[in-house]
Amino acid sequence: MTEDTQSGRRAAPASPATLDDVARRAGVSPATASRALGDHPHVAVATRARVREAAEALDYVASPEATRLAGGPTGRVAVLVPHPARWFFGELIEGLEAALRAADLDLVLFRVGGPEERAAFFDRLPARRKVDAVVVLAFAVAEDEHDRLASLGVDIVVAGGRAASYPSVGVDDHGAGRQAMDHLIHLGHRRIGMIAVENTGRLAPDPDGRTSAWRAALGDAGIAPADELLVTVPWGGEGGADGMARLLGLRTPPTAVFAHDDETALGAVRTLRRAGLRVPEDLSVIGVDDHPLAALADLTTVAQPVREQGRRAGELVAAGLRGELRERVPPAELLPTRLVLRRTTSPPGAPR
């Protein structure tokens, strides 16, 4: 008792236990120990129990290097992130980390900004299989990239976006855009501007469908989308501010604006305030995301469960690695978005 208390958690021996140690302690051969620990068939239950016990007692953790070298999995998954510092990606990462950790997988982070970096990554990865799977955050993967990885036995999953030929978790961006636009239209707005952001590193234009939602919603309401009302800016608050300034410079400015995301929307609001305009009395603004600071700014938005997308993606990876997804690519998984009413939208020209 005294000893236990004194030694504290300094249980681990100086040099980690090996499989041989476990085998010896369990009175079996290393081969059997390996099979027992790896949940292979044809191992007597009693034996398996004994080995498990020994491993437990010795605080045994398999060496990933040795495992991999001998043909096993690495226990690692690569996560490709365009912008680790942005809230959206941070949330995705946090969700992913939780799921991967639960599955006892390590998360190796790679920042992959532009197309060249992406190409460099996909080029090098196959050379040495450092990971068992790749999670791509919010951008599409080219067919050939996918094929290459697949042929190497590396799973691939997309989080924060959609994909056709491989598992993905995201939201229906077009639908989210419709929620925002329909809200504005429902309030009575007819001249609605859109601040879209430049899509860097994505394959298709408007891959998230928000811009197409702007167009479609307008069309459905019998309003012809005026191209001058669609401005495209670099991502971020400053971009949003610039976009709003451009919209304000129009002969007939819009009465409401749908911004690609909350940070862009916040920038737009800043421009309006600086111009002495009241929000929402003079002009309504809506974003997408439900960024934590959107609440502080009372920004009306369409919320999406970002961390949850990361978590689900992580779960898909884990399932895939366990062989549960073999041969059947699950369809793109879409998580629900919802309109969050706050104080930056109101009927045109009317106080709320």
> Is position 263 an interface residue for a second copy (rule: CB under 8 A)?
yes
> Is position 125 an interface residue for DNA (rule: CB under 7 A)?
no
Strand partners, 78: 108, 134
Q: Which residue from 5, 39, 41, 128 is in contact with a second copy, where contact means CB under 8 A?
A: 128
Dist CA 352 CA 278 (whole Å): 11
**Toward DNA, which CB reaches closer, 15 or 252?**
15
Site size for DNA, by CB under 7 A?
A: 31
> Is position 42 an interface residue for DNA (rule: CB under 7 A)?
yes
> What crossing angle do the helices spanning 87-102 and 306-321 adopt, rounded to 10°?
40
* Span 220-259, contacts to a second copy by CB under 8 A: 236-238, 241
Q: To the nearest whole angstrom, how small is the minimum distance from the Cβ of residue 46 to DNA? A: 7
CA distances to 12, 146, 267 from 101, in Å: 21, 25, 36
Backbone angles phi, psi at 49, to 5 degrees: -60, -45
Q: x/- binding map, residues 3-42, to a second copy, per CB under 8 A?
A: ------x--x---x--------------------------
Q: To the nearest whole angstrom, how small is the minimum distance from the Cβ of residue 53 to DNA? A: 14
Q: To the nearest whole angstrom, how small is the minimum distance from the Cβ of residue 143 to a second copy? A: 14
> Which amino acid type is present at position 255?
T
User: Which residue in 171, 223, 173 sits closest to 197, CA to CA?
Assistant: 173
User: Which residue in 310, 306, 298 sits closest to 337, CA to CA?
Assistant: 306
> Is position 87 an interface residue for a second copy (rule: CB under 8 A)?
yes
Q: Which does 292 bind (CB under 5 to 8 A by kind): a second copy, DNA, none?
A: a second copy
Q: Which residue from 13, 53, 63, 124 is in contact with DNA, where contact means CB under 7 A?
A: 63
> Is position 75 an interface residue for DNA (rule: CB under 7 A)?
no
User: Which of these ranges, 39-47, 120-128, 177-185, 247-255, lies near a second copy under the rule CB under 8 A?
Assistant: 120-128
> Is position 52 an interface residue for a second copy (rule: CB under 8 A)?
no
Dist CA 190 CA 186 (whole Å): 9
> Is position 69 an interface residue for DNA (rule: CB under 7 A)?
yes
Q: Which residue from 70, 127, 204, 296 is in contact with DNA, where contact means CB under 7 A?
A: 70
Q: Which two tokens stand for residue 248?
A: 């304000």
Which residues of this protein are in contact with DNA, per CB under 7 A?
15, 18-20, 27-32, 34-35, 37-38, 40-44, 46-48, 60, 62-63, 66-67, 69-72
The contact set with a second copy (CB under 8 A) reads 9, 12, 16, 59, 61-66, 68-69, 74, 76, 79, 83-87, 89-91, 93-94, 97-98, 101, 106-111, 119, 123-124, 126-130, 236-238, 241, 263, 266-267, 270, 292-293, 295-298, 307
